[in-house]
Structure 1
Amino acid sequence: MTVLDALQATLADEHAALYTYGVLGARTSQATAPALFETLTSGYRRHRARRDQLQLMVRDAGGDPVAAEVAYDLDGSLLRPPQLERAAADLEAASVEGLLALVAQSTGSVREWALTEATWSAVWRLQLGGTAETWPGAPELDRA
């Protein structure tokens, strides 16, 4: 896999993350759950900035950024705040894995950026109620 391929895969993941955060935010009430609404909004904003940066990186690497899908499959039971928080935490866990794959395929500023973003997602996952892991983004190492 080339750096460009890894950037494109990470960008595709970010498109899905933005879609998911949009759905989660739409299923959250700012009036009745303001803390959750703000948390999801912050996650959405971070992933939007990440997506925008990845589009620039893909162009800088000589590629045309992969487009978002029209829609993504989500669990239909995402209705209550604990379900929404769990879905966001799961999304961040998947983001860490994808970003660490980019770390493994890149060097220099791309690697540094991907590691910074993976760290943010790992910490954000904890803020969403996720559990701490010895090796965030590498669950196969936790089983060793």
Structure 2
Amino acid sequence: MSTLDALQAALAEEHATLWTYGVLGARTSQSASPALYDAVTAAYRRHRARRDQLRLLVRDAGGEPVAAAVAYELDGALVRPPQVQRAAVGLEAAGVETLLALVARSSGEVRDWALTEATWSAVWQLELGGAAQTWPGAPELD
């Protein structure tokens, strides 16, 4: 897998993540679950910026950014705060794995950026109520 392929994979992941965070935000009550609402909103904003940066990086690498799908599959019911929270933790975990694949296949500024973003997602899992992991993004090492 080339750097461009890894960038495209990360961009495709971000498209799905943004779509899912949009659904999670719509199913989170600002008045009933303000902390969860704020966490989901902050994550959506960070991922939107990440998606935009990935589009630029793909273009800089000579590629045409992969387009978002019309819709994505959701895993299970997402109607209660614990379900929304688990889904958000899962999004961040998947993002860490994808970004670490980009770290492994890139260098310089792209690698630095991907590592910063992977670290943010690993830490954000904790903000969302996830458990600390010895090797975030590399479950095979646990």
Q: Who is 1:18 aligned against?
A: 18
Note the 1:71-90 alignment, pairs <5 A.
71-90=71-90
Q: Which consecutive residues of structure 1, in runs of 5 or more, have no partner in the other structure?
A: none
Note the 1:97-108 alignment, pairs <5 A.
97-108=97-108
Q: Give the CA deviation at 1:80.
A: 0.5
Cα-to-partner distance string for 1:35-57 (whole Å, 9 max, x where unaligned): 21111000000000000000000
Q: Give the CA deviation at 1:76.
A: 3.9
Give 1:50's aligned amino acid.
R
- Structure-2 separation of matches of 1:75 and 1:69: 17
State the number of aligned residues.
142
Which structure 1 residue ranges, 4+ long, deviate > 3 Å from structure 2? none
- Structure-2 separation of matches of 1:97 and 1:130: 15
Q: Who is 1:40 aligned against?
A: 40
TM-score (norm 2): 0.98
Q: Give the CA deviation at 1:75.
A: 2.4
SS at match of 1:12: helix
Q: CA RMSD in A?
A: 0.7
- Structure-2 separation of matches of 1:27 and 1:75: 14
Q: Which consecutive residues of structure 2, in runs of 5 or more, have no partner in the other structure?
A: none
Cα-to-partner distance string for 1:99-139 (whole Å, 9 max, x where unaligned): 00000000000000000000000000011111111110000
Q: Who is 1:94 aligned against?
A: 94
Q: Who is 2:114 aligned against?
A: 114
SS at match of 1:23: helix
